[in-house]
Amino acid sequence: TLRQYGVDPSNAYALTAFGNSMSPVINNGATVYVDVGRTRIVDGKIYAINHGGLFKFKYLYRLPKGGVKIVSENKEEYPDEYLTAEDIMEQEFCVVAYAFNVQNSLP
């Protein structure tokens, strides 16, 4: 499976998601498989991020001058966030890993 996704086994981790900001794509309690070797943003992909000490899974998009747009699947409760390059530094934002697969629990 890792070979199929082009993931080096030493960079692969399985993490548990909490909350509903990415539901229904990533549900509360889902296992999310990530690659810590892939942190360069490709627009519209899901990443594990650290945003000011909060660990989140979000869609990311690059913005001009080093900014980033942070998007949740559940837009009603979690509106889009826009960070400038300065905000990224001040809010200690960083991309931790690329999410390459998710396993949601059955109801």
pLDDT tens digits, one per residue of 57-85:
999 999 999 999 999 999 999 999 999 99
Instruction: In whole angstroms, give the CA distance from residue 92 to residue 28.
Output: 25
Mean of the per-residue pLDDT values for the chain?
96
Structure confidence at residue 60 (pLDDT): 98
> Residue 85 is inside which H or E element, if any?
helix 85-90
pLDDT at residue 42, as a whole number: 98
- Residue 8 token pair: 């080096």
Q: Which stretch of DSSP H or E encloses residue 62? A: strand 54-63
Q: For residues 16 and 107, give the distance between their C-alpha atoms in angstroms, rounded to a whole number.
A: 17
Average pLDDT over residues 79-98: 98
| End-to-end Cα, the chain, rounded Å | 25
* Tally of CA atoms within 13 A in the half-sphere of 89 that contains its CB: 3
Q: How confident is the model at residue 107 (pLDDT cuts 50, 70, 90)?
A: low
pLDDT tier at 105 (50, 70, 90 boundaries)? confident
Supply the pTM of this predicted model.
0.94
- What dihedral do alpha carbons 29, 30, 36, 41 form, nearest 10°? -110
